[in-house]
Amino acid sequence: MPVAHEVLRRATGPDAGRAALRCAHRTRTWAELAADVAAGAAHLRGVGVVAGDLVALTLTDPVDTLVAMLAVDHAGGVALVGDPAWGVHQRAEVLRALAPAAVVAVPLPRGRRVPADPGPPPADDVAAWAGFSSGSTGRPRAVRRTRGSWTRSFGHVSALTGTTPADTVLVTGPLAGSLHCFAAVHALGTGAGVLVAPTPTAAVAALPDVDVAHVVPSRLDDLLDALDQGAPSRLRTVVVGGAALDRAQHERAAAHGLRLVAYYGAVELSFVAVDTGDGLRPFPEVEVDVRPAPHTGLGEVWVRSPWTADGYLAGARGPLQRSGDWCTVGDLADLAGPDAPLVLRGRGDGAILTAGATVVPEDVELALRPVPGVRDVVVVGAPHRRLGAVVVAVVEADARPGLRAHLDRVARSTLAPAQRPRRWYRLDALPRTGGGKPARSALGAAVAGIDPTADVGDLEALR
The mean pLDDT of 84-105, rounded to a whole number, is 88
402-452 tens-digit pLDDT:
999 999 999 998 888 888 999 999 999 998 877 778 888 788 878 877 555
333-366 tens-digit pLDDT:
888 877 899 998 777 767 787 876 778 888 899 8
Does position 134 have pLDDT exceeding 60, yes or no?
A: no
223-249 tens-digit pLDDT:
999 999 999 999 999 999 876 777 888
Given this model, what pLDDT does residue 138 score? 45
Domain residue limits, the chain: 3-261, 351-461
Asked: is 3-261 a CATH 3.40.50.12780 domain? The reply is yes
Whole-angstrom distance, CA of residue 70 vs CA of residue 64: 10
The mean pLDDT of 303-310, rounded to a whole number, is 97
For a pLDDT cut of 90, what percent of the chain falls above it?
Answer: 63
Is the whole-model pTM more than 0.75? Answer: yes
Beta strands 127-133 and 78-81 are parallel
Given this model, what pLDDT does residue 121 score? 82
* Confidence at 137, pLDDT banded by 50, 70, 90: very low
Given this model, what pLDDT does residue 286 score? 98
User: In the CATH scheme, what architecture does the domain 351-461 have?
Assistant: 2-Layer Sandwich (3.30)
Q: What is the mean pLDDT of the chain?
A: 90
53 burial type by CB count under 10 A (0-12 exposed, 13-18 middle, 19+ buried): middle
170-196 tens-digit pLDDT:
999 989 888 999 999 999 999 999 999
Q: 347-384 burial string, b = 16+ CB within 10 Å, else e?
A: bbebbbebeeebbbbbebbbbbbebeebbbbbbbbbee
Given this model, what pLDDT does residue 443 score? 86
Nearest alpha-carbon partner for 54 in 20, 89, 101: 101
